[in-house]
Chains A and B, each alone.
Chain A
Amino acid sequence: MASIELKDISFCYPGSATPVIEALDLEVERGEAHALLGASGSGKTTLLSLLSGLLRPTGGAIVFDGNEVTDLSPRERHVAQVFQFPVLYERMSVIENITFAIREQSAQIDARVQHIVEALGLGKISALRPGQLSLYQKQICAVAKALANPEVSLILLDEPLTSVEPAAKARLREVLTAAQNEFATTMIYVTHDQTEALTFAQRVSVITEQGILQTAPPDEIYNQPAHEYVGYFVGSPGMNFVTREGERVGFRPEWCHLHATSGIAVEVTTCRFEGTRAGRAHGLVELSSASGPLFYRGPIDAVKTGTQTRLGIDRGLRYRDARMVGVL
Chain B
Amino acid sequence: MLQLTNVRLFNRALPTFEHSFAPGRIHVVLGTNQAGKTNLCRLIAGLPCSASGDITFDGTPLPAPRARRGTAAMVYQAFVNYPNLTVAQNIASPLRAQKLSTAQAEARVANLAATLHIDDLLDRLPHELSGGQQQRVAIARALAKRARVLLLDEPLVNLDFKLREALQRELRALLEDQATTVIYTSTDTRDAFSLADELLLLQDGTKLQSGALEDVYAKPQSSAAMALLSDAPLNVLERDGSKHFIRPEHVYLRPPTAPQISFDMFVRNYVTNGNTTYIQGEVENHTWVMRHPGVWSGSDNSNVKVSVDTQDLRRF
Listed in ascending order, the chain A residues whose CB lies under 8 Å from chain B are 39-41, 165-167, 170, 173-174, 177-178, 181, 192-195, 198-200, 218-219, 221-223, 233-238, 252, 254, 270, 272-279, 281, 284, 286
Contact = CB atoms under 8 A, between A and B. Distances in A.
B157 to A, nearest CB: 9
A254 B292 CA distance: 14
Nearest to B230: A275
B273 A218 contact: yes
B274 A277 contact: no
Going nearest first, the 6 A-B pairs with the smallest beta carbon separation are A222-B274, A198-B273, A199-B271, A219-B295, A192-B160, A193-B161
A275 B189 CA distance: 11
A178 B269 contact: yes
B239 interface: no
A276 B254 CA distance: 15
Contacts of A286: 169
5 contacts: A218-B272, A236-B165, A274-B193, A279-B311, A281-B214
A220 to B, nearest CB: 9
B69 interface: no
B130 A40 contact: yes
Given A167-B187, A198-B271, A277-B249, 14 more contacts: A40-B160, A170-B233, A178-B269, A193-B161, A199-B271, A199-B278, A222-B275, A222-B295, A234-B274, A237-B169, A252-B275, A276-B217, A276-B250, A286-B169
Nearest to A201: B271
A174 B269 CA distance: 9
Contacts of A272: 193-194
Nearest to A178: B269
B187 A165 contact: yes
Main secondary structure of the interface of B (DSSP, over half): mixed
B247 interface: yes
Contacts of B254: 278
A166 B187 CA distance: 7
A174 B305 CA distance: 23
B270 to A, nearest CB: 10
Given A166-B188, A219-B295, A279-B309, A254 B214 contact: no
Nearest to B191: A166
Interface in B117-175: 130-131, 160-163, 165, 169, 172-173
A273 B275 contact: no
A237 B165 contact: yes
Contacts of A198: 271-274
Interface in B165-212: 165, 169, 172-173, 187-189, 193-194
A194 B275 contact: no
A223 B309 CA distance: 30
B58 interface: no
Which residue among B131, B214, B273, B312 has the maximum number of chain A CB atoms within 10 Å of its CB?
B273
B193 A199 contact: no
A194 B213 CA distance: 26
A223 B274 contact: yes
B271 A39 contact: no
A270 B194 CA distance: 11
A273 B252 contact: no
Nearest to A253: B275
A221 B274 contact: yes
Contacts of B249: 275-277
B161 A167 contact: no
B309 A275 contact: no
Given A199-B273, A273-B213, A39 B231 contact: no
Contacts of A278: 252, 254, 257, 309
Contacts of A277: 249-250, 293
A30 B271 CA distance: 21
B90 interface: no
A177 B32 contact: no
A252 B130 CA distance: 29
B233 A273 contact: no
Nearest to A39: B160
A205 to B, nearest CB: 15
Contacts of A192: 160-162
A230 B249 CA distance: 27
Interface string B238-276: 000000000101101010010000000000010111110
Contacts of A279: 309, 311
A272 B197 CA distance: 10
A175 to B, nearest CB: 11
Contacts of B194: 272, 284
A166 B162 contact: no
Nearest to B173: A270
A254 B275 contact: yes
Nearest to B189: A166
Contacts of A284: 194
Contacts of B217: 273, 275-276
A64 B161 CA distance: 31
B121 to A, nearest CB: 16
A119 B47 CA distance: 46
Contacts of B247: 275
Given A166-B231, A192-B160, A236-B165, A177 B33 contact: no
B32 A167 contact: yes
B162 A233 contact: yes
Contacts of B231: 166, 170
B280 interface: yes
Nearest to B163: A39
B295 A177 contact: no
B159 to A, nearest CB: 9
B168 to A, nearest CB: 10
Contacts of B1: none
